[in-house]
Copies of this chain bind each other. A is one copy, B any other.
Amino acid sequence: MDDVARAFVPGHVTGFFTVERDEDPTRTGSTGAGVTLTDGVTVEVRPAAETTIRLNGEDVEMGAVERVLDALSVRATVEGETPLPLGAGFGVSGAMALGTALAANELFETALSENELVTVAHGAEVQAGTGLGDVVAQARGGVPIRLEPGGPHHGKLDAVPARGRIEYVSFGGLDTGEVIEGDVEHLDRPGEEALSEVVRKPTVEQVLYASRRFAREVGLLTEDVRAAIRDVSDDGGEASMAMLGDTVFALGTGLSDAGYDPEVTGIHPGGATLR
Q: A residues bordering B, Cβ < 8 Å?
A: 102, 105-106, 109, 111-117, 141-142, 145, 152, 158-163, 199, 201-203, 269-271, 273-275
Q: How far is the CB of A171 from chain B (nearest CB, A)?
A: 31
What residue of chain B has the Cβ atom nearest to residue A203's Cβ? B111
How distant is the Cα of A106 from the Cα of B159 in the complex, in angstroms?
14
Question: Which residues of B have CB within 8 Å of A111?
Answer: 201-203
CB of B273 within 8 A of CB of A160, answer no
Judge whether A161 and B113 touch: CB under 8 Å.
yes
CA distance A115 to B113 in the complex (A): 22
Decide: A273 and B142 in contact? CB cutoff 8 A.
yes
Which residue on B lies nearest to A141, using beta carbons?
Answer: B270
A145: B residues at CB distance < 8 A: 113
**Does A115 contact B158, Cβ atoms closer than 8 Å?**
yes
Return A68 CB to nearest CB of chain B, in Å: 14
> Is B159 touching A114 in the complex (CB atoms < 8 A)?
yes
Say whether B113 contacts A275, CB under 8 Å: no
**CB atoms of B113 and A158 under 8 A apart:** yes
Cα A115 to Cα B161 with chains together (Å): 9
Q: Closest Cβ of chain B: how far from A13's Cβ, in Å?
A: 18
With both chains docked as a complex, state the minimum distance between the C-beta of A95 and any C-beta of chain B, in angstroms.
16
| Chain B hits for A270, CB < 8 A | 141, 269-271, 273
- For residue A114, which residues in chain B have a CB less than 8 angstroms away from its CB? 142, 158-161, 202
Q: Return chain B residues, CB-CB under 8 Å to A106.
A: 161
Which of B105, B141, B152, B159 sits near A161, CB closer than 8 Å? B105
Contact A102 B161 (CB under 8 A): yes
Residues of B with C-beta under 8 A to A158: 113-116, 152
Q: Are B159 and A113 in contact (CB under 8 A)?
A: yes
Residues of B within 8 A of A161 (CB): 102, 105-106, 112-114, 117, 274
Nearest CB in chain B to that of A103: its residue: B161
Q: CB < 8 Å: which of B113, B163, B274 contacts A202?
A: B113
Q: Closest 8 CB pairs between A and B?
A: A270-B270, A269-B273, A113-B202, A114-B159, A115-B158, A163-B274, A113-B158, A114-B161
